[in-house]
Structure 1
């Protein structure tokens, strides 16, 4: 059985342990061998980022490649700059929303898209082979690559995001939680250029504070900032700023389902929602799919991961897709989840319509949803766990058409995710408790 080092969002693990210097070096060599010599490289603010960047770029250069280095920059900027500069591929060193001790390495193709599974498996096989450990046949002399500093990379990305909307954001007061991540250097600047009044927190970083009690996984500080400043809206990024979540003026969370519903409805009103289609994942809320279908839109669901969303969007010619977690793809503007572009698009809808985020969110009603992550070293055995699937079928029969169940392994962590939606929170919680107990017993 082949081993794929890449999860749903790159090769990921604890830096200097699971994700070692040697593995990063091999992945750098692989990038040049499988993608080509010119590779765009960016990273987030993690302490281990410079170590892994050194190893990765050394691997690229050892194979004769040229790493075009952007420094600290959001993930979508690397995808964008790879395409704009006609490079052979892009690499981001980031573990997204994970804690600071984790890091990751994710690849983009020359088209700014995540790599197909088959290519990831081929790269993984080579990286784990003896050939990747050999220094034979490596170039010498003038054949060795060298680093190219990509000038003004962040500003180019900011300018791109700003120009994805017409008009400005003057009059809007926006609270922003940058999560001590890559957004520190981009989002506040972009919103200010568009004329918004910006109150930003967690805009500094020391490499060990990224995502810690802040950002899109911890909205408490953002809610307090909205309250203190009287902001019209609050927004929070994860570590590499490829996602964004919002809160309205009263602190209510507006997740990716709401963002898709609001922006999809707005695009449709402008005649820009091609095929009346929105692409989401199996994690989207039942309330979202119900509201969109009642509005006449086609909702297509994929496996979890913005890469699968993008693949389906390209296949169908769709222009909007994303995940409940806040990875939203506006294909006209970028080829991966883009927290900043998503933010300016949603804020632009607010400005243009004169409606508050709470008013816009009435486009759908969220079904109560309970999600619990269960630590499991045995998550790989999930598919064959008959007692668990018997329990799932029992719960599904009890819920009928008024709810749904989703149990899946995390693509990046040793977790099994158990999610239930139902008409009431109490019903959903009871169902999750039943299934979690089985997971803990059968998949420790």
Structure 2
């Protein structure tokens, strides 16, 4: 085995966001770009003699990047790499492998729900030994290292072919190629009542799961069709594609519109669901009804005891700050803790590790539990099937009963995408500058009661995260949140989150956009979004 040290120089802009480093695929595949970032990770985590999990969502450049990382791992003294066959692992499956094998962490290649292909996006993040994304102290250190890096180490030899499960070697580094689906599917059987769901399907229950040509296809086919008995063909778009079939693998009503249309049609199945590029997000639908991610989190938490893995109850619920407060009302009814954190799954990890939360969720279609340290799209789908099987009701009936007990929190997200970064930063900066003057201010008929720039102190380890988004509270219970997204790769995305709670005795059957229209107008009046961005309307409404 021959190693070489290659001279390099810092490349500007290698600062990881909420889910690792994401850039256009063309950028990531430039000479030394991937190598610099991987070496910066290795320089920070000191990998000699350690074991890591490695895999990705199969998007364009995934295979080449994994070959490079294996060669660099061997040159940096890694003892063992556990790799999904063909370099494929869903993000929750990678987290499970890290935990199950008690490894020192993992490298996950994905840009999640972003488009793939040569013209699309690529990403890489480092997860720590608990299976969750690295905390900011580590990602900050990695970024700092990218700014001074001068060399990287790589093996000259070619990494082994990854198509066959087995044990291989690259120099002194052992490579274990594993089935990317089996261990994850086995884990689900310990958490979910598979017998109850089999019974549901045996009674003629129908579903459509749209894998969106992404990584979850093989997982969903194995679990839903082979292990649980859903009809053949229930999983659609199940073959993973490097460019996700030319689509946008984001499970929401905009990018998964064919699924939504089908569930709203006369021949709709009983249940519909979708997952994203790397398998960590989900969308839930019933015949004639779409369930918002915020409501889905609340329903799963309220009914978690129906699944064997949570039969003894849950210890707490955690949600990201932009997510609606629907789950807080469930936590109050259950007498358990409710936590509000910044956006980013890494902020849930300390709560999960400390046993202060069991179920977590984000409004961006991420839901999960303490079985891994990532959001888990297919787990959420299975939890819903478990709930449906045990309760013997439709999705609509379950939602109606939930709202009748807890009230309905109307919720929507408006995205203004690819805004000039200077304009977006100035808009948010100016808004923050006038927060102190807003309480008592009338905004298009709504009075501001409170305005804050959300700061967070972790209740477990005391770490802090400052300036995580602006929250505007209005008289009557409305709330608007404005923040810049950290998941895009072009320009800036301004996200406006809207919510308003309706008590159980109120009107629970409004169109969400109608119910939130006054909150949207008030937020625009305060931040002047449309005028400053030049957009007449959001690019995406979910």
Interval containing the TM-score (normalised by the shorter chain): 0.7 to 0.9
User: Residue in 1 aligned with 2:3?
Assistant: none
1:434 to 500, 525, 531: 525
> How far is 1:392 from its partner?
6.7
User: Separation in 2 of the partners of 1:409 and 1:427?
Assistant: 22
Counterparts of 1:413-428 in structure 2, within 5 Å, are: 413=488, 414-422=492-500, 424-428=515-519
> How far is 1:293 from its partner?
3.6
Asked whether the equivalents of residues 215 and 278 of structure 2 are also in contact (C-alpha less than 8 Å), the reply is: yes
User: Residue in 2 aligned with 1:102?
Assistant: 121
1:354 maps to 2:392: yes
1:314 to 330, 349, 353: 353
Cα 1:405/1:311, change in 2 over 3 Å: same
User: Residue in 1 aligned with 2:486?
Assistant: 411
1:119 to 135, 138, 142: 138
1:195 to 229, 246, 250: 229
User: Residue in 2 aligned with 1:221?
Assistant: 258
SS at match of 2:108: strand
SS at match of 1:176: strand
> How far is 1:323 from its partner?
1.1
Cα 1:437/1:386, change in 2 over 3 Å: closer
Cα 1:237/1:266, change in 2 over 3 Å: same
User: Residue in 2 aligned with 1:6?
Assistant: 16
Cα 1:169/1:199, change in 2 over 3 Å: same
User: Separation in 2 of the partners of 1:211 and 1:403?
Assistant: 38
1:16 maps to 2:26: yes
Cα 1:373/1:296, change in 2 over 3 Å: farther
The range that moved more, 235-244 or 262-271, is 262-271
Asked whether the equivalents of residues 214 and 249 of structure 2 are also in contact (C-alpha less than 8 Å), the reply is: no
Asked whether the equivalents of residues 115 and 248 of structure 2 are also in contact (C-alpha less than 8 Å), the reply is: no
Asked whether the equivalents of residues 480 and 498 of structure 2 are also in contact (C-alpha less than 8 Å), the reply is: yes
The range that moved more, 79-88 or 365-374, is 365-374
Counterparts of 1:158-307 in structure 2, within 5 Å, are: 158-166=185-193, 167-170=195-198, 171=201, 172-192=205-225, 193-197=227-231, 199-209=234-244, 212=247, 215-217=250-252, 218-226=255-263, 227=265, 230-250=268-288, 252-267=289-304, 272-275=312-315, 277-290=316-329, 292-293=331-332, 296-307=335-346
1:76 to 80, 92, 110: 92
1:339 to 377, 384, 392: 377
CA RMSD of aligned residues (A): 3.2
Unpaired runs of 5+ residues, structure 2, are 1-11, 158-168, 449-473, 502-514, 536-542
User: Residue in 2 aligned with 1:26?
Assistant: 36
Asked whether the equivalents of residues 36 and 149 of structure 2 are also in contact (C-alpha less than 8 Å), the reply is: no
TM-score (norm 1): 0.87
Larger helix share, 1 or 2:
1
The range that moved more, 205-214 or 155-164, is 205-214
Cα 1:369/1:289, change in 2 over 3 Å: farther
TM-score (norm 2): 0.72
> How far is 1:246 from its partner?
0.6
User: Separation in 1 of the partners of 2:21 and 2:297?
Assistant: 28
Cα 1:435/1:417, change in 2 over 3 Å: farther
Cα 1:224/1:35, change in 2 over 3 Å: farther
Asked whether the equivalents of residues 154 and 186 of structure 1 are also in contact (C-alpha less than 8 Å), the reply is: yes
1:44 to 53, 57, 71: 57
> How far is 1:384 from its partner?
3.4
User: Separation in 1 of the partners of 2:274 and 2:413?
Assistant: 21
User: Separation in 1 of the partners of 2:156 and 2:61?
Assistant: 29
Asked whether the equivalents of residues 99 and 210 of structure 1 are also in contact (C-alpha less than 8 Å), the reply is: no
Unpaired runs of 5+ residues, structure 1, are none
SS at match of 2:409: coil
Asked whether the equivalents of residues 45 and 180 of structure 1 are also in contact (C-alpha less than 8 Å), the reply is: no
User: Separation in 2 of the partners of 1:52 and 1:21?
Assistant: 12
Asked whether the equivalents of residues 320 and 340 of structure 2 are also in contact (C-alpha less than 8 Å), the reply is: yes
Asked whether the equivalents of residues 370 and 419 of structure 1 are also in contact (C-alpha less than 8 Å), the reply is: yes
User: Residue in 2 aligned with 1:397?
Assistant: 447
